[in-house]
Amino acid sequence: MMGTEIRTFYSMKEMSDSLMDQINQYKALSEDYSEWLGSLLRSCEETRKNEGWVQKSAAMQKNMRGPPKKIAEAGRSAKKKGEGKSKKNESSCWVQSGDLLLCSTEQGEAEILFEAIEEINKKIQGLEKFKTTLQQLERIGLGKNVDYIVYIKDDVPEKLVLRTRDSSQAGQNYKFETDITVIGINR
């Protein structure tokens, strides 16, 4: 995955297969991070029950078990409560070092896991929307002589250019020529 790129697909099936692979990769990554976060929060609950961030994080993680849309809404509502604060002020565990924030606590680890899961789920939503659009395009029956040029930004398709292949060009894509020479060996 490159983030921003332009890819050309030569069939709707090729594009759909690629999209499903990407959705499955993101879902697996989201599940892995959710398990990591759950494990972290369980271990912190046992040792730091009285710290407010552990209780808030555990409640947010329970909300994350729903569909991606609900997770994003839960993240937004949590951010609204702390509006007007910079990232450094949201929690005292972060220290600014140039353009980078540094942290050495479990709270910081939980925060980056929440952020990563939220971003991944946003990408899954974008990919699912594109998948729906592709299904609509399939229903209207786009021709077989079409190339699909996709502009992908932050790993999510944003624009699609349909380019009709010339009939002469279509034949060139599948043309195979070879010369075979057989040399006989007498024994």
* pLDDT by position in tens, the chain (length 187): 567 999 999 998 999 999 999 999 999 999 999 999 999 988 887 776 655 655 566 566 666 655 544 444 444 444 444 444 444 445 578 899 999 999 988 889 999 999 999 999 999 999 999 999 988 888 888 767 889 999 999 999 999 999 988 765 544 555 556 666 667 666 5
pLDDT value at position 27?
97
pLDDT of residue 140: 85
- Which one-letter amino acid corresponds to residue 121? N
CA distance 90 to 82: 7
Q: How many angstroms separate the CA atoms of 114 and 178, rounded? A: 56
Q: Which secondary structure element, helix H or strand E, spans residue 18, and what is its range?
A: helix 12-47
pLDDT at 184: 63
Q: Which of 28, 47, 53, 59 is nearest to 110 (CA)?
A: 53
